[in-house]
Structure 1
């Protein structure tokens, strides 16, 4: 049997099942193929996936066995999207429709799906207009992310781009100031976040990548007074998001008066 009992929720396994899914209108997030495998229909799967701009990753047998829960995956496993990706323009259109300055979150190489889901949940609650994630080296909109976000992915638009640094330059051209959350930055609560804002949140282990950090207009830091010198990405992001929200609400109240 090619498909596992989890297919409708988590994975699609087996060459025929994955190939038919690619030929249909079903949205696939990522396809994992066995390392070095190019025989038979695998090459057709890879070619069709690339044509449809779907991420293809090589994986060893243990990874494929884990994803498929031990079923006969035949060297290929596909992860369906839990929801559709938006474009950056879609996100900016939301801000325009609301008559608000853009408020975006940029997630830089957050590979843990639980952290990404939690970040999406907080971003939606804080009133962000959308999130941008990289196509590579990042968790994506898998069912785990959907569940961890408590369904927030239904309401917060998420765009997936090939090059974060390049996209950041485009945002700057639109008048959006970009703030990176990282070590050795300016005091977070003394930073003016008024106007169009994009907040970059990096992974716990590596923080923001060197190139992405270089594209930030400013870097902001939270005080670390204990023995631990880093916070969970969604926690650090949440604190900064709500400071941005606090300042925006304060400005709105002032303008109403």
Structure 2
């Protein structure tokens, strides 16, 4: 069990029936009424709490007058994900290669949900996991997308290849994304914030792609880069 906070994330968690209890700030208004109604319909208990209690549970003052106790996040096994997408000819997956900042993870999940990405894959070591910061940064969108946590990215790539996926890795040097063919089953790799995609993962990729820049500044935030690639894939 863990606590999440913020109106958007709590609403999404309620939609996915992940919530065990909701703590509501005294005299809270606006979309709080929607949250109370959703909780009532799902028979989720609500507790009226003062601001100090909400800050204690959320670990921040930026709780928007609502905190929820939620079940541990449920990941999907890679094999189950592959089977689920077997019949989808244009399935799209994003692989996060050691993304460490939970804000980046959450922002990528939010963009993935917006553009219609089918799933996110990430390693279980030296990477951010799904926590309350990821939930908040994703505005709750993390609950609406399949997320698979794997032991080894390179092994996961081989399994995806066997399932018919083309693997594209992002890097500073590669084919311009504007000329790439993203049709069919495609998995895009977004690298670590400082080191980029690891060498072994680059070697296992079918193609290396790059976002063209128009200045002397040669790097983008990982979540921004992911969103740009998503736009190009789906436009």
> What residue in structure 1 maps to residue 151 of structure 2?
162
The CA distance in 2 between the partners of 1:105 and 1:114, in whole Å, is: 16
After TM superposition, the structure 1 = structure 2 runs for residues 171-190 of structure 1, keeping only pairs within 5 Å, are 171-190=160-179
> What residue in structure 2 maps to residue 95 of structure 1?
85
1:241 aligns with 2:235: no
The CA distance in 1 between the partners of 2:3 and 2:117, in whole Å, is: 28
The CA distance in 2 between the partners of 1:239 and 1:184, in whole Å, is: 16
> How much has 1:245 moved relative to structure 2?
1.4
Q: TM-score w.r.t. structure 2 length?
A: 0.68
* Aligned pairs, number: 172
Q: Secondary structure at the match of 1:90?
A: helix
Q: CA RMSD in A?
A: 2.1
> What residue in structure 1 maps to residue 107 of structure 2?
118
Q: 1:84 aligns with which of 35, 51, 74?
A: 74
> What residue in structure 2 maps to residue 9 of structure 1?
3
Q: Secondary structure at the match of 1:224?
A: coil
Deviations 1:196-249 (A, max 9, x none): 000000123111001111111001111122232100011111111121112xxx
The CA distance in 2 between the partners of 1:141 and 1:157, in whole Å, is: 12
Q: 1:199 aligns with which of 174, 181, 188?
A: 188
Q: Secondary structure at the match of 1:165?
A: helix
Tell me, yes or no, if the aligned pair for 1:179 and 1:218 is still in contact at 8 Å.
yes
> What residue in structure 1 maps to residue 219 of structure 2?
230
Q: Secondary structure at the match of 1:139?
A: coil
> How much has 1:91 moved relative to structure 2?
2.8
The CA distance in 2 between the partners of 1:174 and 1:8, in whole Å, is: 35
Q: Secondary structure at the match of 1:114?
A: helix
Moved over 4 A (4+): none
Tell me, yes or no, if the aligned pair for 2:97 and 2:189 is still in contact at 8 Å.
yes
Unaligned ranges ≥5, structure 1: 1-6, 11-68, 70-79, 247-257
Tell me, yes or no, if the aligned pair for 1:81 and 1:142 is still in contact at 8 Å.
no
Tell me, yes or no, if the aligned pair for 1:82 and 1:143 is still in contact at 8 Å.
no
Q: TM-score w.r.t. structure 1 length?
A: 0.63
The CA distance in 2 between the partners of 1:101 and 1:211, in whole Å, is: 26
Unaligned ranges ≥5, structure 2: 5-58, 60-69
Q: Secondary structure at the match of 1:175?
A: coil
> What residue in structure 1 maps to residue 98 of structure 2?
109
The CA distance in 2 between the partners of 1:181 and 1:8, in whole Å, is: 33
Tell me, yes or no, if the aligned pair for 2:107 and 2:138 is still in contact at 8 Å.
yes
The CA distance in 1 between the partners of 2:112 and 2:136, in whole Å, is: 15
